Amino acid sequence: MDTQQVYNQNAQKWLRLEPSSLSDFTARPLVFDACGELAGRSVLDIGCGEGYCARELKCRGAGDYLGVDLSEQMIEAAKLQEAKEPLGIEYRACDVVEFQTERQFDVCIAVFLFNYLRVEDMNKVFRRVYDALATGGEFIFSVPHPFFPFVRVGENPPFYFSAAGKNYFTDVNQQFEGEIWKRSGEPLHVQCVHKTFTDYFDGLRLAGFYTMPEIRELTVTEELVATDEAFFGPLLNEPLHVLFKVKK
Ligand SMILES: C[S@@+](CC[C@H](N)C(=O)[O-])C[C@H]1O[C@@H](n2cnc3c(N)ncnc32)[C@H](O)[C@@H]1O
């Protein structure tokens, strides 16, 4: 299914004011922590969706904040929430592959955006991010763990991507369909345009990021299982997501 269509149709399901989907527990808090002390630093949030991360980072002290997303409905939902409780976040509907800006940002985040882009498009976006970052600026992004679709077989809650018959190396750029569950029991449709670890590292280097990225492989921890065994238990110690942080 077309990404824009998926998110236009599901914007209301995604809208949330508190953690609800699996990755709101297993990934986003680690992205927020990786942003560190924001203390007025400007943020570009690409693939910002309905603004969940934007609202959190603004509350943690971000300065000028621009969120961009392909889906007009997700941006509409973000703007509605901003109108209800203004935090000073600017939102714009556009395709990040075409997005260009004269502005310079201190931080760029992309939370589960690149699983919607082919390698060539991701590389274009990496270059645009490099140009949009001030010297010393940080690029922080999370993606599905490249191994996850291959180690987690079966279409079961609370998260899966269907990769039956697919190969880690030869099926790069193939789109795997999946679902991620909210703790309420509602599934959200997600997609993963497959990439290997090499693709991420090559793309960053080609874009001009020459310092070693920090990476963290994210999973369900014992601490999370202790809070809700039925929900988190099936994914204990599975390789779910990867967080990258690199400096310009
Ligand atoms: C899984 S959602 C994550 C949203 C948000 N980052 C969050 O963490 O809540 C992925 C988002 O990427 C957006 N997206 C996918 N392809 C895009 C593109 N080419 N340009 C801009 N946004 C895109 C989708 O519209 C969707 O809102």
Closest atom of ligand 1 relative to the 190 alpha carbon: 1
In short, whether 137's Cβ falls inside 6 Å of ligand 1 is no
The proportion of the chain whose per-residue pLDDT surpasses 90, expressed as a percent, equals 92
What residue segments make up the domains of the chain, in order of their start?
A: 3-145+196-247
pLDDT score recorded for residue 10: 80
pLDDT score recorded for residue 1: 66
pLDDT score recorded for residue 8: 82
pLDDT score recorded for residue 167: 98
In short, whether 52's Cβ falls inside 6 Å of ligand 1 is yes
Residues in the chain: 248
Nearest CA to ligand 1 atom 27: 49
The preferred substitution site among 30, 66, 71 for testing ligand 1, maximizing ligand atoms within 8 Å of CB, is 71
For 50, residues 6+ apart whose C-beta sits below 8 A from its C-beta are 11, 14, 15, 16, 74, 77, 78, 81
User: Per CATH, which fold does 3-145+196-247 belong to?
Assistant: Rossmann fold (3.40.50)
Closest atom of ligand 1 relative to the 111 alpha carbon: 6
* pLDDT tens digits for range 6-34: 788 887 888 889 999 999 999 999 999 99
Phi-psi region of 51 (alpha: psi -120 to 50; beta: other; left: phi over 0): left
CB 120 within 8 A of CB 150: no
Give mean pLDDT, residues 227-231.
97
pLDDT score recorded for residue 134: 98
Closest atom of ligand 1 relative to the 23 alpha carbon: 8
pLDDT score recorded for residue 4: 82
DSSP code string of 97-136: TT---S--EEEEEEES-GGGS-HHHHHHHHHHHHHHEEEE
The more confident residue out of 14 and 219 is: 219
Total-model pTM? 0.97
In short, whether 178's Cβ falls inside 6 Å of ligand 1 is no
In short, whether 32's Cβ falls inside 6 Å of ligand 1 is no
Give mean pLDDT, residues 132-136.
98
Closest atom of ligand 1 relative to the 95 alpha carbon: 20
* pLDDT tens digits for range 29-49: 999 999 999 999 999 999 999
Nearest CA to ligand 1 atom 4: 49
* pLDDT tens digits for range 187-211: 999 999 999 999 999 999 999 999 9
* pLDDT tens digits for range 49-89: 999 999 999 999 999 999 999 999 999 999 999 999 999 99
In short, whether 7's Cβ falls inside 6 Å of ligand 1 is yes
Residue 232 phi/psi, 5° resolution?
-85, -25
CA 128 to CA 46: how far, in whole Å? 11
Sign of CA dihedral 26, 247, 37, 116: negative
CB 157 within 8 A of CB 234: yes
In short, whether 74's Cβ falls inside 6 Å of ligand 1 is yes
* pLDDT tens digits for range 144-180: 999 999 999 899 999 999 999 999 999 999 999 999 9
Kindly give the residue spans of alpha helices, DSSP state H, lying in 22-118. Answer: 22-26, 28-34, 52-59, 72-84
For 173, residues 6+ apart whose C-beta sits below 8 A from its C-beta are 118, 119, 193, 194, 195
Closest to 72 measured CA to CA, from 14, 131, 16, 7 = 7
